[in-house]
Chains A and B, each alone.
Chain A
Amino acid sequence: MTFLADKKNKIILFVTLIIIFVNLWTIIYLAPMIPDQEWAQRIFYYHVPLAWNAFLGYFGVMVFSITYLISRDTKWDVLAQAAAEVGTIFCLLILITGPIWAKPIWGKAWTWEPRLTTTLILFLLFIGYFMIREFGGPYERSSRYAAVIGILASIDIPIIYYAVDFWAPQVQSHPQRDMGGHASAVMQVFYFSLFTFTLIFINMMRYRSHVRKMELLKLEDENV
């Protein structure tokens, strides 16, 4: 059965699509204009929720991989792979939207400051993760190797999160983590955006894991 043949999945996707458009509307018409940054500031309503969901995905990879290594139940491996793929798509989007914001604000698209560099490293680690999955040999072995790499790569997440604390402030041009100083209108739009991207994340995770499960079932049928 295809994913969208299930009525429940179709309804969730439809509601998500409506929320996506409402979210875009709130960003354009309701979010207050910040004097220094003008329109470029609105990129943050996309950039930060994308970052949170990328981390959510990678945190999922760590949890599912540990559970898979302990239980050896394929269900956890399927979830780990789906979380890794969706997390990496979101991580790619952080690396695209970040420089687009930085160009007008910092004057240059990229600097080798700690948070940017560690985010790039995380992205590259997960490229390695997919290479192991693809070329790591038989399913059982490659998924075991991938689980170990997934757990090790996840160590980078707290390093990125606390990068603004670990390194001296003068080497950073990045905004700090504290968002409490923003006006409540900014925060309302931001939280709605966070909710929207989490919904997108959930849809993508559900779809990817559904398809992966079907693939594995087909493989099992072929081997029997």
Chain B
Amino acid sequence: MFSGYFIAVIISVWIVVFGYWMYVRDKEKSI
């Protein structure tokens, strides 16, 4: 059985990494 804490870490890490990637992508599009 997965721990909620472990899932929270996985989700938060990928939200932040993906969010940053999208931020850079937006900057790229605005050039």
Which A residues are within 8 Å of any B CB, using their own CB?
2-3, 24, 28, 38-40, 42-43, 46-47, 50, 85-86, 89, 92-93, 96-97, 100-101, 103-104, 200, 204, 207-208, 210-211, 214-215, 218
Contact = CB atoms under 8 A, between A and B. Distances in A.
B16 to A, nearest CB: 6
Interface residues of B, number: 18
A214 B31 CA distance: 7
A140 to B, nearest CB: 21
A211 B24 contact: yes
B10 to A, nearest CB: 7
A3 B28 contact: yes
B17 A96 contact: no
A40 B28 contact: no
A92 B16 contact: yes
Given A89-B20, A211-B28, A40 B3 contact: yes
Enumerate the 5 nearest inter-chain pairs by beta-carbon distance, A residue then B residue, closest first.
A39-B3, A39-B6, A211-B28, A43-B9, A97-B9
B9 A211 contact: no
Nearest to B4: A39
B27 to A, nearest CB: 5
Contact of A97 (B3, B12, B17): B12
A43 B31 contact: no
Given A38-B3, A43-B9, A204-B17, 18 more contacts: A2-B28, A40-B6, A50-B13, A89-B20, A93-B12, A93-B16, A96-B16, A97-B12, A101-B5, A101-B9, A104-B5, A204-B21, A204-B24, A207-B21, A208-B24, A211-B24, A214-B28, A214-B31
B28 A39 contact: no
B20 A204 contact: yes
B31 A215 contact: yes
A179 B14 CA distance: 26
A208 B6 CA distance: 29
